[in-house]
Chains A and B, each alone.
Chain A
Amino acid sequence: MKALRVSIFFLLCLIGSPEVLANTIRINPGQSIQKAVDRASPGDTLIISEGTYKQFGIVIRKPLTVIGENYPVIDADFKGNILIVATSNLTIQGLKLINTGRSNMDDSAAIKFFDSKDCIVRDNILENTYFGLHFSNSSQLTIINNKISASALREFEVGNGIHLWKCKNSYIGNNEVSGHRDGIYLEFVTNTQAKENKIQKNMRYGLHFMFSHDNSYIRNTFKNNGAGVAVMYTKNVLMKENRFEENWGSSAYGILLKDISDSEVVGNIFLKNTVGIYMEGSSRMEFTNNTFRENGWALKLMASCDQNTFKANNFTQNTFDISTNGSLVLNTLTENYWDKYEGYDLDKNQIGDIGYRPVNLYSVIVEKIPAAVILWRSFMVTLLDRMEKIIPTLTPDEMIDESPKMKPYDFG
């Protein structure tokens, strides 16, 4: 953060008094951006005037500040990358980059960074790109306020919106990504923060990361992505106050956790997902103060998960609260609010006097025979469930919240 502030301050100085430290070069429509880049000295500022530039494959290998005036359009006309960067201390701001190549041979991107450091990409608009922003082997990146959208019809026709591979110490904030394969894709990315991004309507995952330890994801919105969010093989992750909404489909999840351990999921909202959280092979995670609302299944907790704790979450209006695939339960449920809880509280301590079993008999049946979902809420199924609540036979006995809250938590 500090680095960011300093660099923004630095940048502001540059704009305010261009002649103080370095030269300012203005580029007008018809002129070659590549030539201007080649001409510039490190530290110079390039101002691209309003207009359309049919150019692509522009290589930048020196620290520069590239600023677009009133969003000049750089149109690659479906040929390859637009900007290719391998440097440090580069700022790219206010450009409108459209129509990259479509090839997945070279993974065409609007801006592609290799081995870079301390770079800022901000306030850009990317339209109809194959990959949006593509970073490899870079660090200290600041990626903020970009609007990235594609309009592919099929998953294989498009790359990722913000793609980081082997990067670290970066910040991804306030970006909007839509229509790509994965909204944000991180692989081998560490110590990075993604904050307040809006990731919607991407073909596959809103957020997808693997082997990316020690990252945090705060106040992002993942909405209506093909399969929600999927994260794998990672430890020490913080997910806080994100929204996972309307991820609908046969294998769509608010969030899919596979082999995630020692992480925290706090204060998130899972709204109207087919499955709020699906987890397998995950351990030692803490889920607190989350809201699960109007999901088909709030949680699908596979038996391969252990030592996870669900504490003080709200479960309201989910069709099914929890389903699982085994009878062994190695996870803890405590002090959650369940709207389906029908117990009583005689000692008035706001905690129900009898436990709540969140696994519904019918969810077990639906798990086995999906077509049976059509009978849900029929009188007969309600009767079956009542019976099961009294004498559990098919549902795991130990899956129980012994201290269910009587009233929902107010998470504000």
Chain B
Amino acid sequence: MLKLLKYALYDILKSRFAMIYTVFMILVAVSIYQVSDDLSKVSLSLMNIMIMIVPLISAVFATTHFYNNLEFIELMLAQPVKRSHVFLSQLFAVILMLSLSIMIGFGLPMLLWGADTSLITLLAVGVILSAVFAGFAFLASVLTRDKAKAIGISLGLWIYFSLVYDGFVLYLIYSFADYPLEKVTLGLVMLNPVDLGRILMLMQLDISALMGYTGAFFQKFFSSSMGLLIAGGTLALWTLLPNLFAMRVFKKRDF
């Protein structure tokens, strides 16, 4: 497993995409650091990029990578190694590469110009979202036999979680404004990993507003150890479930 990962990682880290992605992240971070006059503005701008771009790139790249490596995966499968190991080595390689790009791309400027807790949180959120959307992409890839279709599904999931879902929640909140909705809303955001990541950032950036009337409920929840455990657990599930499901399918899939 580790041997497979070593080689998969070696290949992916040397790929042109990894370079471009990292350089892109560095450019984004550097320009934001240059333009903004203080750290929380930096994390605000970086967060907007992160929430949008990272899931998108993770989803598209992971799908493309899977299909580009299909023949190699087949070759691996003809070797005396476990199928799950082949799958996991590919998956971890993708996740590690995406995470490293974020860590280097955003982390280096942070080392250079300073960071605060919100920026550290941002890095963690980026890594988690990469893993979640790589999972979605692998799932889409193993479920279909057509690269275009798989990319379509990955993009669909991205649009759904970044835009459509929130619209639905807002509509719901708006329609039932007369009812106490805090718990329902809380439950609903748990069902969206992008929202969860975003709220972890809100806890850092908009703590003052979150202390307002209803906000205090969210603030209390997300700053209590129980709430953090639930939020962390849910994010972990979001990371694990698509990946595990994709692995199950992969183990039975025909190549």
Contacts and interface: CB of A to CB of B under 8 A. Distances in A.
Interface of A: 248-252, 272-275, 294-297, 316-320, 339, 365, 368-383, 408
A378 B195 contact: yes
Contacts of B181: 369, 371
A110 B54 CA distance: 61
Interface in B178-219: 181-182, 185-186, 189, 194-195, 198-199, 201-202, 205-216, 218
Contact of A369 (B38, B173, B206, B210): B173
A371 B209 contact: no
A379 B163 CA distance: 6
Contact of B208 (A295, A376, A408): A295
Contacts of A317: 38, 40-41, 44, 205
Contact of A370 (B162, B201, B213): B213
Given A296-B209, A374-B189, 5 more contacts: A250-B211, A272-B208, A317-B205, A374-B215, A378-B198
Given A379-B51, A379-B52, A319 B208 contact: yes
Interface in B47-68: 47-48, 51-52
A381 B48 CA distance: 12
Interface in B209-234: 209-216, 218
Interface string B149-167: 0000000000000110011
B177 interface: yes
B40 A370 contact: no
Contact of B218 (A319, A339, A374, A380): A374
Interface of B: 37-38, 40-41, 44, 47-48, 51-52, 162-163, 166-167, 169-170, 173-174, 177, 181-182, 185-186, 189, 194-195, 198-199, 201-202, 205-216, 218
Contacts of B195: 374-375, 378
B206 A376 contact: yes
Interface of B is mostly: helix
Among A250, A274, A294, A374, chain B packs the most CB atoms within 10 A around the CB of: A374
A326 to B, nearest CB: 19
A127 to B, nearest CB: 30
10 contacts: A251-B213, A295-B209, A319-B206, A369-B173, A370-B214, A373-B215, A377-B48, A377-B205, A379-B163, A380-B163
A339 B41 contact: yes
A377 B48 CA distance: 8
A250 B173 contact: no
A370 B185 CA distance: 11
Contact of B211 (A296, A316, A383): A296
B39 to A, nearest CB: 10
Nearest to A252: B211
A128 B161 CA distance: 54
Contacts of A383: 163
Contact of B214 (A365, A371, A375): A371
